[in-house]
């Protein structure tokens, strides 16, 4: 049976709407899952009901995580935040970890996982951690723009069976202080953490790049979606 994957919605506050990039849905569907966009809610009973019907959670990109969630004041270069989404994901992720439901976090997703578990973020890389590595590319977004080093014995290394990986990149925030429960799976050539995992869970991965843009042309992106969906079936 195909697993149902709950996909956290993107939020357009100006249009008072929820929306979704097709790559998130198609990446899951092509990997054998059934993607369903979740409502934006922090109602605990609703979230519990949802978690009783889905087998995995995809934390998508989108708004910056509010710096107050990791004990910092917001700097001018920090982007727009969404308190309702922060609140929802705090409840959703906490419940998912408690039930050992597989979680894949992409872009904002890796950042939120890190913050939830006690880590912090660079609010703006160009301001707080400038480097020559391209982290905020221009279209097309499926084109690789920098290299990663994959850590030996990490889940990502075992899946892809390679020490380096070329990835696309579209973010201006990243992990600053890594949360202690997380293990590093990959770093960019400037040292920025780009992938993490929780090894004591069935599957909790966070990745900073965007397989939802590159899965059509990149086998490694497809393999990540497939591994996530496979763990949702186990």
- pLDDT tens, 191-220? 999 999 999 999 999 999 999 999 999 999
Per-residue confidence (pLDDT) for residue 144, from 0 to 100: 98
Single pTM value for the model? 0.98
As a whole number, the mean pLDDT across the chain is: 98
**Span 118-131, average pLDDT:** 98
Helix (H, G, I), strand (E, B) or coil at 25: helix
DSSP 11: E
The residue assigned the tokens 């198609």 is 26
**Span 112-117, average pLDDT:** 98
Positions annotated as catalytic residues are 107, 210, 212
For residue 44, give its domain range: 4-233
C-alpha closest to that of 199 among 145, 143, 158: 158
Q: What is the CATH number of the domain that holds 143?
A: 3.40.50.880
**Span 222-227, average pLDDT:** 98
Q: Exposure string (b/e) for 153-166, b if CB count within 10 Å is 16 or more?
A: ebbbbebbeeeebe
Q: Using only C-alpha atoms, what is the Rg of the chain?
A: 16
Q: What is the tally of structural domains in the chain?
A: 1
């Amino acid at each position: 049976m195909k697993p149902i994957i709950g996909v956290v919605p993107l939020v357009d506050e100006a249009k008072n709407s929820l929306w979704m990039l097709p790559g998130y849905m198609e990446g899951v569907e092509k990997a054998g899952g059934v993607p369903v966009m979740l409502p934006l809610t922090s109602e605990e009973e609703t979230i519990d009901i949802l978690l009783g019907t889905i087998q995995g959670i995809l934390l998508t990109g989108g708004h910056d995580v509010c710096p107050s969630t990791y004990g910092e004041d917001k700097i001018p270069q920090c982007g727009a935040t969404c308190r309702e989404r922060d609140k929802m994901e705090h409840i959703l992720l906490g419940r998912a970890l408690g039930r050992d439901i597989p979680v894949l976090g992409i872009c904002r997703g890796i950042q939120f996982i890190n913050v939830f578990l006690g880590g912090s973020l660079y609010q703006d890389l160009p301001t707080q951690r400038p480097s020559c590595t391209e982290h905020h590319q221009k279209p097309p977004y499926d084109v690789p723009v920098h290299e990663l080093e994959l850590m030996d014995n990490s889940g990502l290394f075992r899946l892809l069976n390679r020490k380096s990986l070329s990835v696309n990149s579209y973010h201006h925030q990243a992990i600053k202080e890594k949360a202690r429960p997380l293990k590093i799976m990959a770093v960019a050539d400037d040292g920025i953490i780009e992938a993490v995992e929780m090894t004591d869970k069935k599957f909790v991965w966070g990745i900073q790049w965007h397989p939802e843009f590159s899965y059509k042309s990149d086998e490694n992106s497809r393999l990540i979606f497939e591994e996530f969906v496979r763990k949702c079936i186990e």
